[in-house]
Amino acid sequence: MSKLIALSLGPGDPGLITHRAWQQLQRTDTVWTYPIRSLRKESYALDIVLRAGFVLPQRHQPLLFPMTHDVEKLARHWLKAAQTVQQVLQSGQDVLFLVEGDASTYASFCYLARTLRELDETADIEIIAGVNSFNAACATLQMPLSEQDDTIAIIPAAYGIDVVERMLNDVDTLVLMKVKPLLDDLIDLLARKDLLRHARFIEKAGSPFERIVTDVASLKGEKVNYLSLLIVKNPARERGELLRGCRKKERAESDQNDEQDEQDEQYEQNERDHHDEYSA
C-alpha cells in the first residue's frame, strides 16, 4: 500500500536532516511534494533539500498553503492538496511531503494529513521526526531550553500581548513563534517586565541566513523575517511547590533496599558464626 511520508528536515541546516529522512530522500521511486505560500514564492523546505545536494526528481509537485485567515479559502487549498496526494497514492507511489522543522510542530503537514484522512480513513501516513527551530536555536546560543524542574511553553505570538504576559508569569522559558507582526509590542512588554536582557531573537535558525540578536530592544521598528522566534527566560519567576511523590517513592524504595542489605549482611554473619562454631 502506498504511503504519505512527512519528511521533517530541520530548521534550515542540511546537516540537521536526520539519517532516516536522508534515506527517504535517496529513494528514486517516490514523488516529492512541498508547501509553498504563494505561486510567486519558493519552497523553503525544498531549498533545504537542494542545499543538501539532492536533485529535484522528475516527479514533484508544489502544494499551495496560502498565508491567510480566511477559513474557507484555507479549506479549499487543503482539500486540493489532499486530492493531489491521494491521486499519486492511488497510482501506487509513495509521496514524500517535505517539511522544514518538525512535521508535528506548527506545520502545514497536519492539515494535509487530516484532510487526506477525511477523504480516505485508511490512508497510510508516516511522520519522520525532525529538529525544531527552537532546539536548534538553543544549541547555537548554548542556552538550555530547560533545566531540572523548569517549565516551558511554546506558543505563536499571534495569541497577543495579554496571553504572552500571563504565560510569562507561569513558565521559566517561553518560546514565541512567528513574532514578526507583534515584535514591537513584545519588546515593550519585555522592557516593562525587565526581561529584555533574558530574551534572544533568532531568525531563520540553522540556515545560511541565520541571525541571532541578543540586544532585542535594537530590533524595535525593524522588519524581520516570518521565520523568526523569541526565546525568553524568566529567572525571577515565583514558583509554586512541586509535588515530590516520585521522589518519595524513590526514597521508600531506597529504604527498602537498605533494609534488605542489612538483612543480607546479618544472614551472612550468622552463616560465618555457624561455620566457625562447627569448625571449632
Contact by Cβ (8 Å): 2, 94: yes
Distance in angstroms (rounded) separating the CA atoms of residues 173 and 153: 7
What pLDDT, in 10s, does the model give residues 22-50?
A: 999 999 999 999 999 988 889 999 999 99
Cα–Cα separations (whole angstroms), residue 199 to 134, 138, 157: 13, 12, 14
| Domains assigned to the chain | 3-131 (3.40.1010.10), 134-233 (3.30.950.10)
Q: Assign residue 178 a region: left if phi > 0, alpha if psi is -120 to 50, beta otherwise?
A: left
**In the structure grid, which three cell numbers stand for residue 253, read together?**
524504595
Q: Which residue has the higher pLDDT, 260 or 160?
A: 160
Distance in angstroms (rounded) separating the CA atoms of residues 121 and 72: 22
pLDDT score recorded for residue 26: 97
Burial of 129 (0-12, 13-18, 19+ CB in 10 A): middle
What pLDDT, in 10s, does the model give residues 98-124?
A: 999 999 999 999 999 999 999 999 999
What pLDDT, in 10s, does the model give residues 215-263?
A: 999 999 999 998 999 999 999 887 777 766 655 555 555 556 666 666 6
Which residue in this structure is represented by grid cell 532546539?
Answer: 135
Question: pTM score, two decimals?
Answer: 0.81
Residue 280, pLDDT above cutoff 50? no
Distance in angstroms (rounded) separating the CA atoms of residues 18 and 130: 7
Chain CA centroid to CA 271, Å? 59
What pLDDT, in 10s, does the model give residues 114-153?
A: 999 999 999 999 999 999 999 999 999 999 999 888 999 9
Contact by Cβ (8 Å): 151, 171: yes
H/E stretch holding 114 reads helix 109-119
From 8, 12, 45, select the one nearest 140 (Cα to Cα).
Answer: 12
pLDDT score recorded for residue 20: 98
